[in-house]
Amino acid sequence: MNPALTQFGDQMSHLTGVRAIMKDIIETLRAGQGKTFINLSAGNPVILPEVEKLWRDCTAELLASPEYGEVVCRYGSSQGYEPFIEAVLADFNQRYGLSLTERNLLITPGSQALYFYAANALGGYAASGQLKEIVLPLSPDYTGYGGVSLIPEALRAYKPTIDLGTEPHRFKYRPDFSQLEITENTGFVLFSRPCNPTGNVLTDEEVARIAALAKPHNVPVLVDSAYAPPYPALNFTEMTPVFGDNMVHCISLSKAGLPGERIGIAIGDEAVIQVLQSFQTNLCIHSSRYGQAIAARAIGSGALGAIAETVIRPHYRGKFTVLEENLERYMPESAPWYLHRGEGAIFAWLWFDELPVTDWELYQQLKQYGVIVVPGEPFFPGLKEDWLHTKQCIRISLTATDDEIATGVRHLATVVSDLYRQGVAAQTPVEVAQSR
């Protein structure tokens, strides 16, 4: 059967970003014919024993309680499971000195669903016909933003400035406020903090400046806090969650050990929350309550916040250190490679300036060595201008073992050394001088 698709049906029937590349990765792994691959592409969090035990214990408590039937065998409020909302409210109000009420919260089936609601409730064409843009103030950013809008042209990303600092082979992206535009034609602003894929953490001052640019135009600012404190607290540098009249703090419990339960939390202004809640009611009635019920226990007891700081964060920060040490050991000193400063999340981001091939070709060559990474180009959704930099980066997952990371980096160094050596050899003396 070949059903006729609408414009929206055609849009949503195609995979975007890394999801399209994952198809190639899965096929590569399946067709390996006994070959062992080092998979440095994974986005699944590591199943840490202490984290798994927490969720097992909370599940056992739920199964043994009279609450179980109400959780699983009943419909609930479209806003979320009441004990879970109460636990989150109490925790955030106590931690951050807030005065949130239940009207400031919405529980969604994962944060990706939350951005889909926002993208199509606040972005796209208004009744007047005016296009309301979804602004990504710092590119690269989460690849999933590329598929959330039913109006693809609504997404607009801005190039960053690149701060090389003083440390060799390190760099950091920063918002380019000389270019960033937030106007009455902006539907909302969206960025991740810490950032997937780069690990970048916008400073408190940068976030406040973005919020200040948006406020005069009554534009909401959604902060994707899937890696932020208090859970999973995957920030390796000091950072403070930012709240305000036009801010919507967006949380996910996926990297806190519950990716299969799809739990997203939106905290923000009552009017924005109400719009998103209505969208959710029409789409799916409400989120699954089982995951919310066990998460209510983990948050209410303080166990999740404690494990995030003492187990989850140290694990991934340690993996980033392992990656750094092996890059310094194996990567050619003469090659223009740069590692983004490790400020959070579960990935590392590498930039190869003047790379002789594209990121996709580098990805393919690494596969020949049994190493799988993720090409960087899909992490630039919404960027309207051509930029060679988008084809010079790769993302490396911090979910592998220490030995896998070391071996993967060693093979990466071999491939990169050969590429730059061949690239320079293929140039004329004039081209070499110009490239410098």
Domain identity same for 56 and 168 = yes
pLDDT, mean of residues 327-341: 96
Q: Which residue shows structure tokens 């051509």?
A: 386
Domain identity same for 312 and 302 = no
pLDDT number for residue 435: 37
pLDDT, mean of residues 165-184: 96
Listed residues 258, 290, 306: the one ending a domain: 306
The answer to whether residue 428 scores a pLDDT higher than 60 is no
Domain identity same for 218 and 352 = no
Q: What confidence tier does 334 reach under pLDDT thresholds 50, 70, 90? A: confident
Domain identity same for 261 and 300 = yes
Domain identity same for 118 and 231 = yes
Domain identity same for 313 and 237 = no
pLDDT number for residue 430: 37
| Residue 311 per-residue DSSP state | I
pLDDT, mean of residues 297-321: 98
Domain identity same for 31 and 63 = no
Q: What confidence tier does 33 reach under pLDDT thresholds 50, 70, 90? A: low
Which helix (H) or strand (E) segment holds residue 135: the answer is: strand 131-136
The answer to whether residue 6 scores a pLDDT higher than 50 is yes
- Tell me whether residue 2 is in a domain: no
Distance of CA 417 to the CA centre of its chain: 30
pLDDT tens for 206-258 read 999 999 999 999 999 999 999 999 999 999 999 999 999 999 999 999 999 99
Number of Cβ atoms within 10 Å of the Cβ of 31: 8
The answer to whether residue 427 scores a pLDDT higher than 90 is no
pLDDT number for residue 434: 39
Tokens of 217: 């135009």
Distance CA 299, CA 411 (A): 42
Domain identity same for 274 and 149 = yes
Number of Cβ atoms within 10 Å of the Cβ of 181: 12
DSSP labels for 374-418?
EESGGG-TTB-S--GGGGSEEEEES-S-HHHHHHHHHHHHHHHHH
pLDDT number for residue 20: 73
Number of Cβ atoms within 10 Å of the Cβ of 256: 28
pLDDT number for residue 425: 47
The answer to whether residue 409 scores a pLDDT higher than 90 is yes
- Pairing type for strands 161-163 and 170-174 reads antiparallel
Q: What confidence tier does 432 reach under pLDDT thresholds 50, 70, 90? A: very low
Q: What is the CATH number of the domain that holds 93?
A: 3.40.640.10
Domain identity same for 253 and 387 = no
Which SS3 state, helix, strand or coil, does residue 341 take? coil
Distance CA 267, CA 111 (A): 12
Distance CA 91, CA 48 (A): 24
pLDDT number for residue 75: 96
- Tell me whether residue 34 is in a domain: yes
DSSP labels for 221-279?
EEEE-TT-TTTT--BSS-------TTEEEEEESGGGT-GGG--EEEE--HHHHHHHHHH
- Tell me whether residue 1 is in a domain: no
Number of domains in the chain: 2
pLDDT, mean of residues 190-204: 98
- Tell me whether residue 422 is in a domain: yes
**Mean pLDDT, all residues of the chain:** 94
Residue 72 main-chain phi, psi, to 5 deg? -95, -35
Listed residues 277, 306, 335: the one ending a domain: 306
pLDDT number for residue 3: 92
Q: Which residue shows structure tokens 């690239």?
A: 423
What's the domain range around 83? Answer: 50-306
Q: What confidence tier does 433 reach under pLDDT thresholds 50, 70, 90? A: very low
Integer CA distances (angstroms), 428 to 78, 269, 334, 434, in order: 65, 60, 19, 10
The answer to whether residue 431 scores a pLDDT higher than 60 is no
Q: Taking a C-beta distance cutoff of 8 angstroms, is the pair 170, 339 a contact?
A: yes
pLDDT number for residue 26: 81
Listed residues 306, 327, 342: the one ending a domain: 306
pLDDT, mean of residues 112-137: 97
pLDDT tens for 50-99 read 999 999 999 999 999 999 999 999 999 999 999 999 999 999 999 999 99
pLDDT tens for 389-407 read 999 999 999 999 999 999 9
Name the amino acid, one letter, at 266: A
pTM: 0.94
Q: Which of 20-24, 225-229, 273-277 has the lowest mean pLDDT?
A: 20-24
Distance CA 134, CA 145 (A): 10
Residue 197 main-chain phi, psi, to 5 deg? -110, -10
